[in-house]
């Protein structure tokens, strides 16, 4: 399971054989190397035949939150796929924060579908939906 490790401002991996007892967190995606974010959190991960795909919230000193994207062959070694976020707040309803991405792969359409929250930095109050081609408020 990939989790926000707030004291370390990173995404960590914890593992379990029974779903009850978990290992200590191991940082797998720190903010260093991601120039646009000071804190990394709120990951969502998909496993596909081509590896693991993670979308995460990146925050800059409490001022703005955006969504980033990274891939991994093993779920432990992550490579950000861009030196910029994949989604930034641009629409009026998104205000200054996009966070909490949840992504599904639509095999039939060959399309990622993302739901995310947007709005104020600490209390987003809207839900957005994005595909590779458009973003709309729902």
Reduced 3-state DSSP string for 3-39: EEEHHHCEEEECCCCCCCCCCCCEEEECCCCCCCCCE
- Express each pLDDT in 98-121 by its tens digit: 999 999 999 888 899 999 999 998
Rg (CA), the chain: 15
CA–CA gap between residue 137 and residue 94 (Å, rounded): 9
Domain that holds residue 53: 2-15+24-137
For residue 135, the model assigns a pLDDT of: 47
Q: Biggest alpha carbon distance in the chain?
A: 45
CA–CA gap between residue 95 and residue 122 (Å, rounded): 11
Average the pLDDT over 62-84 and give the result.
95
* pTM across the whole model: 0.92
Identify the CATH number of the domain in which residue 106 sits: 2.115.10.20
Owner of token pair 């709005």:
119
Average the pLDDT over 77-90 and give the result.
95
CA–CA gap between residue 38 and residue 24 (Å, rounded): 23
CA trace torsion 68, 69, 72, 77 (10° rounding): -10
Domains in the chain: how many in total?
1
């Amino acid at each position: 399971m990939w989790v926000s490790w707030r004291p370390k401002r990173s995404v960590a991996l914890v593992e379990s054989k029974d779903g009850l007892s978990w290992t200590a967190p191991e940082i797998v995606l720190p903010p260093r190397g991601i120039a646009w974010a000071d804190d990394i959190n709120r990951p969502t991960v998909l496993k596909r035949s081509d590896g693991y795909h993670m979308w995460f919230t990146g925050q800059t000193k409490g001022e703005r939150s955006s969504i980033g994207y990274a891939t991994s062959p093993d779920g432990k070694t992550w490579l950000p796929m861009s030196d910029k976020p994949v989604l930034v707040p641009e629409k009026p309803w998104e205000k200054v924060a996009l966070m909490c991405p949840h992504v599904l792969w639509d095999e039939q359409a060959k399309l990622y579908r993302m739901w995310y929250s947007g709005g104020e930095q600490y209390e987003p109050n809207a839900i957005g939906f994005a595909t590779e081609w458009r973003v709309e408020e729902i």
